[in-house]
Amino acid sequence: MESDDNSNAPSRRQIVGGLATGIAAVFATTPAAAAPDAGTAAVPAQPLQNPVGLYPKPPFDKQSQPWPGLASKMNPRPDHGEKSYRGSGRLAGRKALITGGDSGIGRAAAIAYAREGADVAINYLPAEEPDAQEVVALIKAEGRKAVALPGDIRTEAVCKKLVADAVAKLGGLDILVNNAAKQATQDSILDITSEQFDWTVKTNLYAMFWITKAAVPHLKPGSAIINTTSVNAYDPSENLLDYAMTKGGIMIFTKALAKQLAKQGIRVNGVAPGPFWTPLQVSGGQTQENLVKFGENTPMGRPGQPAELASVYVELASAQASYTTGQIYGASGGRGNP
């Protein structure tokens, strides 16, 4: 699930398309008391662009892939900021672990983190290896360390090993992004099998809990945890009952953990995307009918692209957001919500 837009301080370019104006306003300045990250350099501002026409609009071609799907086989191919995201050293020297980092929102965050100066480990399913290798190449192209950690996170043992391997290969950990998700559309609760329910809950909730629990002992003051929830936590889709339930749980987990870890100087925040063009949608997350018109019911009339969320993940991980914890940031093309 999950994904690049860019901008915060006056030294950074304006956010590229799709983010709500409220978020842009929050990100527009850096508090005077906050020290800039090492290596920060001026980035030329981009010309104004109309976000409504910035990316493809429906109707989209009918298309389906077996779970978990590959971004490289989607039409149109999602934009993760491969060509557009430009960093300014805001995360120089940081070490990040991102689940679901091969495609979608996780991939956009991985690209942005590397271009902001961080070393990045990504987790993904073995079937997603082709997409993952593209991300690894993009991270290495920035001169940063890239760690590929394939594995199905539906068991506690895999989650513990994932964190241990990330810490060992990165030389530490100070950013954790829980982003991996399972989404499967079903019109009725009667159609949701126990197998599907277990798969969704284990991927979306259990894994987040296990990975976070394993990571916390390694996190020092100033570290950040970012969880990907969803607009479905606030306005659940009737055909995503189990998925929406888990996303609501992620939102509550984020807020509660933020209170728990505040005294340790560890910030915990969440991001709640609206409709975003990722492999989740073409691998069972939407019906073919809904896929063709995906995103048309937003005021912008289109789905978001993963590239349009990258700057949010950067901001929440950076020192500039030092007073931000327990918050959920939304991007839903004008439909409101967080």
Alpha-carbon span 164 to 158, nearest angstrom: 10
Q: How far is CA 183 from CA 99, 109, 132, 134, 316, in A?
A: 15, 20, 20, 23, 25
Is 268 in a helix, a strand, or coil? strand
CB-CB neighbours of 22 under 10 Å:
12
Cα separation values, 20 from 113, 193, 300, Å: 22, 37, 11
CA distance 125 to 283: 14
User: Catalytic annotation on 243?
Assistant: yes
Residues 6+ apart with CB under 8 A from 280: 1, 2, 69, 104, 181, 183
Q: What is the separation, in whole angstroms, between the first and last Cα of the chain?
A: 18
Say how many residues make up the chain. 338
| Centroid of chain to Cα 221 | 22
Q: Which residues contact 32 (CB under 8 A, 6 or more apart)?
A: none
Q: Could you give the strand order of the β-sheet that contains 119-124, starting from the edge strand earlier in sequence?
A: 146-150, 119-124, 95-99, 175-178, 224-228, 267-273, 328-331
For Cα atoms 13, 328, 262, give the angle at the middle one, nearest 5 degrees: 105
Catalytic residue among 234, 243, 313, 329: 243
What is the set of active-site residues?
Answer: 243
